[in-house]
Structure 1
């Protein structure tokens, strides 16, 4: 059996006349691609020495001074306003049973940040300057302005004013740096 084939040309011509087949798109002389990327925001951290020996040999009624060790702030928040402030506080320093004659109050401890030993980034870095009593807390170091990431390091000094009525012993306290 033989099959008749009919030419499709009249059907294609009718479809084209009705607009069923679209003409190819013309090429554009330029083309835009929207591209993006993400800058990751990090954290705001303070790094302090785990322990420090401030000094020895001071008698009651004198001052014992010494370096606390390097303290640093690492700001990787990538913020439009990269400002931060470090506050420093201390507990009382005690020995033995912590009686009145075995305690140096927090108000008898002075803190001086000293100048920055290193900084990175933009903005203004400000140390405390002269020694100031820690008491219930003072600003140890601050950064204002600037954008993006930054860091600062300093080597603070503690000056402990030992009361005249205190007894001999090794006194221990906790110095806390907080950044916000």
Structure 2
């Protein structure tokens, strides 16, 4: 069995380019939830010359819309959503410094080219395992677009979140 790579999101700027498709990663640190409705709003903000709700430089974004938080937990079930829905917005965000995306499913050729161009990485989370994924989220806070409910933008603190490198910075991919 391949060794798991322990990685902190603060290291993504320097280490994303060294990850290879198929490697297993235990990710810790700060990331942000953002799905299609939030991506659309962020793109509109950028078009107006406004700052996005989180810094894009070397950031990690998790394509997820967590369920309501049960008493005593940091977050509800928090599984990945289909990443392809963010593809129309993703190349621009990568060009502005986004370093890591977490989700499930294939990406468009335009996104793969933007990943390569920006030495970024796409990490895959296990679909259907949102309750288990939530165990690796130690803190969650809504930071933008609260009106979107579960699709609001949240700042998450991860601890050993299990992922697989789906597409690496060279365009290598486990996705068929």
TM over 0.5: no
**TM-score band, normalised by shorter chain:** under 0.3
Give the structure-2-normalised TM-score.
0.24
Query: When you count strand as a share of all residues, which structure comes out higher?
Result: 1
